[in-house]
Amino acid sequence: MYNSVIFDMDGVLIDSERFYFDRRMKYFDSIQMEPASRDIKDYVGSTEEDTWQKLVQDEQLRKELRREYVLFRQENPIDLQQTLRTEAPRVIQELKKGGKRLLLLLLQKEKILSKW
């Protein structure tokens, strides 16, 4: 029997893939540039590096846009409450009721589990 459950926030408790894709498309719209593809399926499961190689074929332009995108990303952070998967609160509450210890892996400083 297990006493603890470890959750990875990114892609498990939150639907980050869709958010990151939409944010990148919003960035390209803001600079009035068309990426190589606007189909999310072309990017799902790709690393950040692979994603940018798919978005922008020209290496020099890609490097420049990635540098600019850092600021855009900071100005458009992920809303963890909005991207939280609908079933996540129920699953977390059930595990806590069952006496399980919950651990959360985060790459960000925000904490959303404090209310549970």
pLDDT of residue 110: 46
Residue-range definition of the domain harbouring residue 107: 4-115
- In degrees and rounded to multiples of 5, residue 75 shows phi and psi of -80, -15
CB atoms within 10 A of CB 27: 18
* Tokens 């020209």 sit on residue: 58
* Overall number of domains in the chain: 1
Q: Which two tokens stand for residue 106?
A: 């985060």
Coil/strand/helix, residue 63:
helix
pLDDT of residue 111: 47
As a whole number, the mean pLDDT across the chain is 88
Question: DSSP class of residue 10?
Answer: B
Name the pTM for this structure: 0.76
Statement: residue 109 has pLDDT above 80: no
Query: Using CA atoms in the order 47, 48, 53, 56, what is the torsion angle rounded to 10 degrees?
Result: 150
Q: How confident is the model at residue 115 (pLDDT cuts 50, 70, 90)?
A: very low
